[in-house]
Structure 1
Amino acid sequence: MSLVSRETDALAQYAALVRKWNPAINLVAPSTLTDFEHRHVEDCLQVVELSAERTGSWLDIGSGGGLPGLIIAIERPDLDVTLIESDRRKASFLRNAVRELGLQNTRILADRIEDVARLDVANVSARALAPLGLLMAYVSQHLEPSGRAWLMKGRSWQAEVEEAKKVWAFDLTSHPSRTDPDAAILEISGIHHV
């Protein structure tokens, strides 16, 4: 079995797990389940593609149902991936998914982001978690000085950037989303308080 088919099989198995658990835990909006592969998996694969040259440890904060953290872990078995999720039921789902998918590179922390001791990771990701200003506090708490954040933001991302710049200084490259014309993936580095 080739590496590509193993990853494709793992993504399909992950989608099946979300569909199975979603009625009990609400991992994603029920209305998005029919189009899960495009709406969620393809969306998160953009982060994998954009960060392809990155190495080192990876932290996904507010992981929810594992988006994009589990997608990154599946596609990048060379990275050590940590997912933080404070909702115990969602963390249970994530642990089960890691076990069923055989992800040896992944650990789950069932805790609040701000309560986890500094991790000093090379990469941080988040999707639909919090306004950018608050997100920057979480990211800066765990990102090493030369690290990079990959933040998936919706239609108000530009206003969020302007608001965040009142408190934070950072280098930003915005990548338009292929799955939502109003959304963007924000590649952020050099984060510090103004």
Structure 2
Amino acid sequence: MDASAFQAATGVSRETLDALSAYEALLRKWQPKINLVGPSTMRELWSRHFLDSAQLHALLPEGARVLVDLGSGAGFPGLVLAILGVPEVHLIESDSRKAAFLREAAREAGVKVTVHNKRIEAVPAFPADVVSARALAPLKDLLAWAHPFIGDRGHGLFPKGQTVEDELTDSTPHWRFTAERFDSRTDSTGTILRVRGLDRA
């Protein structure tokens, strides 16, 4: 998949595609110095990372304005969702080099985000509509990190792989929540969990 195929798949505007293309160019420039994404996925950036992130946009709850992305790394999915129009996006990334990349990528893409260069636990909680995280940790841990931001009223959006059922089972002794499952557009074995009503068990 290239940029034009991504545009055909998502229907994004030319302006949005230009912003994503600027982000892609910077990622390719920084990747040899910092391992931002798995080297084997560089040939499939538009499908494995950009489309995989963009598919979450359609699953955002209506009226969502504030999104917190945990362990943002190279900015997937948080920076992509900011470029797609989420009004207020917070990217939490403890690695200083990756945090510097995120700031530069946001500048190149012409989008405003807040980068928190701290561990997740060190960021003072504030109300968010959505918490996202991709390829970061088991669901049980994600829920613990997300809860201070979304409480029982916000939503979590978490792409998961083949272990999703085991992760749900492991989480239920610790957390009460409702989980909706959506098939991934980019991984035939993948599932996106949309979690709400989160509370400690």
In which range does the TM-score fall when normalised by the shorter chain? over 0.9
1:52 positional shift:
6.4
- Asked if the contact 1:122/1:144 (under 8 Å) is kept, the reply is no
Q: Which residue type is aligned with residue 192 of structure 1?
A: D
Following superposition, which runs of at least 4 residues in structure 1 exceed 2 angstroms of deviation? none
Gapped runs of 5+ residues in structure 2? 1-11
Question: Cα–Cα, structure 1 residues 190 and 157, in superposed 2: closer, same or farther, change >3 Å?
Answer: same
Cα distance change of structure 1 residues 44 and 34 upon mapping to structure 2, 3 Å threshold:
same
Q: Which has the higher strand share?
A: 1
1:159 aligns with 166
Q: Deviations over 1:45-98 (max 9, x none)?
A: 110122163422111110000000010000015x11110000111001001111
How is 1:65-80 mapped onto 2 (pairs within 5 angstroms)? Answer: 65-77=74-86, 79-80=87-88
- 1:85 alignment partner in structure 2: 93
> How many equivalent residue pairs?
190
Task: Name structure 1 gaps, 5 residues minimum.
Answer: none
Q: What TM-score results when the alignment is normalised by the length of structure 2?
A: 0.91
CA distance in 2, matches of 1:25, 1:141: 31
Aligned residue runs from structure 1 range 78-117, under 5 A: 79-104=87-112, 106-117=113-124
The AA in structure 1 aligned to 2:41 is: T
Residue 132 of structure 1 pairs with residue 139 of structure 2: yes
RMSD: 1.3
The structural deviation recorded for 1:145 is 3.2
Report the alpha carbon displacement of residue 144 of structure 1 after superposing the two structures with TM. 4.2
Give, in whole Å, the separation in 2 of the partners of 1:158 and 1:181: 15
Cα drift, residue 18 of structure 1:
1.1
TM-score (norm 1): 0.94
Q: Distance in 1 between matches of 2:73 and 2:95?
A: 8
One-letter code of the match for 2:101? F
